[in-house]
């Protein structure tokens, strides 16, 4: 609900303005005399600030299926290496593959108790994708916990089964394909940016041609 008035006990979001889509949040605005308080962009940024979702998973990489067994992130760091996604999922998440149940159809979010400190980031990505996260871990052939390829697929913004339901691909090949792939949402945004930049350049070029003809 948005508005500028109403009961003092019912906080309302600021009314959208035409400039909300062309500028970022202005966290100093509320302190400037006569500025009128936070606008909608700033209010939303305060509600969903970086501190609430700063714990992010590592990006899936192509060698996850060939790296051997995961290690605790602290052990990996002690050896002079950064932890990978398999390390984080296998050692830092409390979810038990034997006890966890896949999210039912129509349920928007996976259980919060699966995610520990990563919960806010997972919740945000579920909202953006419109689909709940799958169970992130599975048991390997020797009984140890390991990254589930279907979770890496979800992290990359791919539809369920885009890679993991292809016949003939084992887990290592699935992870290689997922790690080598581009995130479609980022690729689309970059392509759209390039198109808009080209159109703006074409318009400026045509305007320059007209100016030169007039001169």
Which is nearest to 174 in space by CA: 60, 56, 58?
60
Q: Which two tokens stand for residue 152?
A: 């890496």
Q: What is the mean pLDDT of the chain?
A: 84
pLDDT at 7 over 50: no
pLDDT of the residue at 209: 55
Which of 15-29, 72-86, 101-115 bottoms out in mean pLDDT, i.e. has the lowest?
15-29
Element (H, E) at 195: helix 184-214
Q: Say if residue 27's pLDDT is above 80.
A: no
The conformational region for residue 36 under phi > 0 = left, psi -120 to 50 = alpha, else beta, is: left
Residue 3 has pLDDT above 90, yes or no: no
pLDDT of residue 24: 73
Per-residue pLDDT at 177: 96
Beta bridge partners of 2: 13
Q: What is the pLDDT of residues 112-166, one digit of tens each?
A: 999 999 998 999 899 888 899 999 999 999 899 999 999 999 999 999 999 999 9
The model's pLDDT over 38-94, given as tens digits with 9 standing for 90+, comes to: 888 787 777 665 555 568 999 999 999 888 899 999 999 998 888 999 999 999 999
Contact 85, 154 (CB under 8 A): no
**6 pLDDT exceeds 50?**
no
pLDDT at 206: 62
């Amino acid at each position: 609900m948005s508005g500028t008035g109403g009961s003092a006990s019912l906080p309302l979001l600021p009314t959208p303005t035409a400039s909300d889509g062309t500028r970022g949040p202005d966290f100093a605005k509320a302190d400037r005399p006569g500025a009128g308080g936070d606008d909608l962009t700033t209010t939303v940024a305060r509600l969903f600030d970086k501190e609430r979702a700063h714990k992010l998973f590592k990006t899936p990489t192509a060698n996850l299926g060939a790296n051997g067994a995961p290690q605790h992130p602290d052990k990996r760091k002690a050896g002079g290496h950064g932890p990978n996604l398999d390390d984080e999922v296998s050692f830092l998440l409390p979810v038990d593959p034997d006890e966890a149940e896949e999210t039912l159809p129509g349920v928007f979010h996976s259980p919060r108790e699966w995610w520990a400190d990563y919960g806010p980031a997972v919740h945000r990505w579920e909202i953006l994708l419109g689909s709940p996260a799958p169970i992130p871990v599975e048991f390997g052939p020797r009984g140890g916990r390991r990254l589930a390829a279907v979770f890496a697929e979800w992290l990359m913004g791919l539809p369920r089964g885009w890679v993991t339901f292809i016949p003939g691909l084992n887990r290592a090949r699935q992870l290689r394909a997922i790690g080598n792939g581009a995130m479609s949402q980022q690729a689309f945004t970059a392509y759209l940016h390039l198109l808009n930049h080209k159109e703006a350049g074409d318009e400026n070029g045509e305007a320059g041609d007209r100016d030169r003809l007039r001169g």
